[in-house]
Amino acid sequence: MGRRGDPPEGPPEGPPGGEDEYGSVVFDESFVSAARVQEFSAVERMGDHAPAVRSLPSRGGRAPRRILLLVVLVALAFGTSVYLGVRQPHRAAVSRPDATLRMSLVPLAPHGTVPGGTAGEVLGQGPAAQYRTGAAGIALPAVRRTEHFTEDQVTTALATVKDYLVASSIDPDVLTGGEPRAVRALLHADQLDQFDRSMAAPAADGRHAVTGWLVRFDPAKVELADSGVRVSGALLVTEQNAGALEVTADHTFAYALRPAAAAGPVDDRASLYTVRRELHFRLDRDDLRRHRLTVLTSHAQAGPQDCAEETAAELHPLLAGRRATTEGPADTDPYAPGPARAALCGALADRSLPSPAPTS
């Protein structure tokens, strides 16, 4: 019979305080090892005011430090990337406009015999009498800033174009077949292949004629009777967009020529030869810093010259006392202002030759 207080089903089996009383509580080795509180031993508790327990350091104490270190490293990496992004921002690739030079040249045939005289006569009594000599004839216009370019930048653009005109139309070495290094040095890198191909293998295809880039005579047939080329014309600057300036050059170049000594015993009188060049240039901000340019278009009229001559490699002036075998459909005056008319061949206006025709 059970005692008072025992449950109806009877007293629990086993002695009081047996192992089964705390059977549901398991203090295994991992539990003990993970405990944060440890009871002091009897010897340790003998001291005055000795506490009964002590706190143990956490076994995972290094983890917070590792996390903190990781956070610091991530912050440093992020800060570095932001700093480099500000100092060296990514620039989206910008495609440059087409840099291929388009060119054309119209030979101007005289109606009759080409007049001759001394160099001073053909230059001083012809339509170029009032022209200035050499680079002085390429005058810079009044400089004004544009919406996105300063006066200094506009001046630089004009000066670069002037250097190109001098190197390609006035330099005696270039005119008589010398290496056009100064011309090449002024070109944007995108045009160097086209320029080099034009020099190596000239072609009348509107892309690869030497005479589209510069003025050149055959030194075996022609020489300068006076190195002072007469020049007159104008330069015009416009802003293409916020990134580039465009310069239009329209100049007439007058040359006093005579037969080369290597050509043998021929009439050694000088004659007037005229080339009108209309060139269109583009200069972006990088070009302005590097003193270079892109030649977009080149249109020229040149005479007196026979229209039957091939002009891709060089010009072939008709010298004093000679006549053209072909004539153009209408008179063309390279000294007249206004837009040049496009044609395959033109007739050189009589007023474009020295008048009255000087005699030897």
Helix (H) or strand (E) holding 68: helix 62-87
Residue 346 to residue 302: CA distance in whole angstroms: 9
Residues 261-265: contacts with CB under 8 Å, at least 24 apart: 261/223, 262/220, 262/221, 263/220, 263/221
Position 162 in a domain: yes
Same domain, 273 and 326: yes
**CB 151, CB 140: distance < 8 Å:** no
Residue 37 has pLDDT above 60, yes or no: no
Lowest mean pLDDT among 157-161, 237-241, 288-292: 237-241
- Picking from 58, 89, 120, the residue at the C-terminal end of a domain is 89
Residue 334 has pLDDT above 60, yes or no: yes
Same domain, 279 and 130: yes
Position 214 in a domain: yes
Same domain, 237 and 195: yes
User: 102-109 and 346-348 as β-strands: parallel, antiparallel, unpaired?
Assistant: parallel
Residue 325 to residue 323: CA distance in whole angstroms: 7
Residue 206 to residue 280: CA distance in whole angstroms: 15
Same domain, 76 and 219: no
Position 174 in a domain: yes
Residue 291 has pLDDT above 50, yes or no: yes
**CB 303, CB 110: distance < 8 Å:** yes
Is the pLDDT higher at 192 or at 18?
192
Position 1 in a domain: no
pTM to 2 decimal places = 0.71
**pLDDT score recorded for residue 93:** 42
**pLDDT score recorded for residue 85:** 58
> What is the rounded average pLDDT of the residues 57-83?
68
Residue 348 has pLDDT above 90, yes or no: no
Same domain, 211 and 328: yes
Residue 226 to residue 271: CA distance in whole angstroms: 11
Q: 4: helix, coil or strand?
A: coil
Residue 206 has pLDDT above 60, yes or no: yes
- Picking from 36, 64, 89, the residue at the C-terminal end of a domain is 89
Domain count, the chain: 2
Domain span at 346:
102-352
